[in-house]
């Protein structure tokens, strides 16, 4: 397994774990307050849709010429990664609320109770909420699996990393029987944002015809470089309000 | 026809999100990289520079 394969597996695993934690909170909320069977059917249906998306688009993407693929995938990863990174920077600087699974769980259970009591048999509310939650969180994972996997011509490895992440999160959820509030979600999102941006930059430039000094080893400078620039922005944002306050008239 | 428009909007929302300036900047930076590399000059530096500038501007816009 090459260094890029390891980075691919770690990035997909972490991105998938973060999304799986959020999906688990939604499924737990409707399962606990309403009907487990219908919620799990929703999870199964969403998983099936996601598997079909990956199975359909994966081979189509990998059939593209490598440079065209890398410029498209690099651009998409960059746009996506910069969004993750911007939100993570704002959260770290205290300018955006941290994602709180306990709060999200309380809000979902309140909504589930407000929807009335579940009748006997199939519960449409549990099915729909679980289906939507897993599908929406899963789409981001499918996107990352496809883009990372296609660029490395290893969609299989990306899919396995995603499946392991889901299994680990589900197992933890079964053991804890509560939302996984202790997972350092915001730190993980920061890290995933750095990886998406770094790989997007690397593949995008290569696809556009540029050659990185040192070839693949350039990633060893790109990843810490993006991380340092992002941490610098967090520091700048934390100091900015204090400087504004000093500059304001008394 | 309406479902195509809805699907297009959903894809736009999913990929570009709430910051179209950053998406446009990424496209321009990739174009500049292709032009410079096509002219035979070193072009690897364009994307790191673009990322720092685009991320800084995006963060500043959001922080305001």
SS (H, E, C) A136-151: HHHHHHHHHHHHHHHH
For A31-52, the three-class secondary structure string (H helix, E strand, C coil) is: HHHCCHHHHHHHHHHHHHHHHH
ipTM value for the complex: 0.90
What are A's interface residues with B at a Cβ cutoff of 8 A? 71, 74-76, 78-80, 82-83, 85-86, 89-90, 93, 95, 139, 143, 197, 201, 204-205, 207-213, 218, 222, 225-226, 229-230, 233, 237, 240
Contact B26 A204 (CB under 8 A): yes
Tokens (6 digits) for A92? 């770290």
Q: So what's the pLDDT on residue B55?
A: 95
Confidence class for position A247, pLDDT limits 50, 70, 90: very low
Predicted confidence at residue A244, as pLDDT, reads: 52
Inter-chain residue contact A205 with B43, CB threshold 8 Å: yes
CB contact under 8 A, A79 and B16: yes
Question: Are A104 and A179 a contacting pair, CB within 8 Å?
Answer: yes
Contact criterion met (CB below 8 Å) for A88 and A189: yes
User: A213 and B48: CB-CB below 8 Å?
Assistant: no
Task: For B27, name the nearest residue in chain A, comparing CA atoms only.
Answer: A75
Report the alpha-carbon distance of residue A103 to residue A108 in Å, rounded.
Answer: 9
Residue ranges of chain B whose pLDDT lies below 50: none
Q: What pLDDT, on the 0 to 100 scale, is given for residue B26?
A: 95
HSE-up (13 A, CA, CB side) for residue A28: 25
Q: Alpha-carbon distance A234 to A35, whole Å? A: 43
Q: Assess whether pLDDT exceeds 50 at residue A250.
A: no
Interchain contact, B47 vs A211, CB within 8 Å: no
Q: Is B51 on the interface with A (CB under 8 A)?
A: yes
State residue A249's pLDDT score: 44
Share of chain A above pLDDT 90, in %: 28
Residue A242: predicted pLDDT:
56
pLDDT tens digits, one per residue of A212-223: 999 888 999 999
Contact B33 A209 (CB under 8 A): yes
| Closest residue in chain A to residue B42, using alpha carbons only | A210
Separation of alpha carbons A238 and A204, rounded Å: 31
| Contact assessment for residue A170 and residue A20, using Cβ atoms and an 8 Å cutoff | yes
Contact A202, A219 (CB under 8 A): yes
Top pLDDT among A229 and A175 is at A229
Residue-averaged pLDDT of chain A = 85
Helices (H), A63-123: 66-92, 101-114
Query: What would the pLDDT profile of A65-97 be if each residue is shown by its tens digit?
Result: 888 888 988 998 899 889 989 999 998 888 887
Query: A interface mutation test: which of B24, B42, B44, B60 has the most A CBs within 10 A?
Result: B44
- Compute the distance between CA of residue A223 and CA of residue A7 in angstroms, rounded to an integer: 10
Kindly state the average pLDDT of the residues A9-22.
88
Mean pLDDT lowest among A10-14, A137-141, A226-230, B8-12: B8-12
B48 CB within 8 Å of a chain A CB: yes
- CB contact under 8 Å between A210 and B44, yes or no, is yes
């Amino acid at each position: 397994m090459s260094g890029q394969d390891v980075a691919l597996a770690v990035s997909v695993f972490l991105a998938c774990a973060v999304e799986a934690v959020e999906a688990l909170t939604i499924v737990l909320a409707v399962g606990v307050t309403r009907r487990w069977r219908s919620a799990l059917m929703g999870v199964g249906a969403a998983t099936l849709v996601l598997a079909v998306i990956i199975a359909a688009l994966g081979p189509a993407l990998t059939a593209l010429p490598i440079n065209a693929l890398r410029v498209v995938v690099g651009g998409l990863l960059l746009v996506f990664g910069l969004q993750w990174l911007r939100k993570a920077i704002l959260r770290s600087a205290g300018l955006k609320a941290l994602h709180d699974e306990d709060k999200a769980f309380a809000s979902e259970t309140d909504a589930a109770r407000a929807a009335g009591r579940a009748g006997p048999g199939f519960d449409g509310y549990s099915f729909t909420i679980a289906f939507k939650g897993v599908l929406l969180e899963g789409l981001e994972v499918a996107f990352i699996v496809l883009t990372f996997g296609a660029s490395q011509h290893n969609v299989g490895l990306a899919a396995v990393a995603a499946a392991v992440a889901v299994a680990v999160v589900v197992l933890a959820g079964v053991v804890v029987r509560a939302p996984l509030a202790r997972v350092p979600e915001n730190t993980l999102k920061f890290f995933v944002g750095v990886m998406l941006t770094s790989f997007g930059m690397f593949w995008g430039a290569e696809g556009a015809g540029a050659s990185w000094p040192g070839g693949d080893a350039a990633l060893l400078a790109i990843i810490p470089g993006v991380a340092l620039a992002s941490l610098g922005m967090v520091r700048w944002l934390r100091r900015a309000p204090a400087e504004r306050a000093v500059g304001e008239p008394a | 026809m309406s479902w195509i428009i809805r699907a297009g909007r959903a894809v736009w929302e999913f990929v570009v999100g709430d910051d179209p300036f950053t998406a446009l900047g990424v496209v321009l930076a990739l174009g500049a990289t292709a032009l410079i590399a096509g002219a035979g000059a070193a072009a690897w530096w364009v994307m790191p520079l673009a990322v720092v500038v685009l991320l800084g501007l995006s963060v500043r816009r959001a922080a305001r």
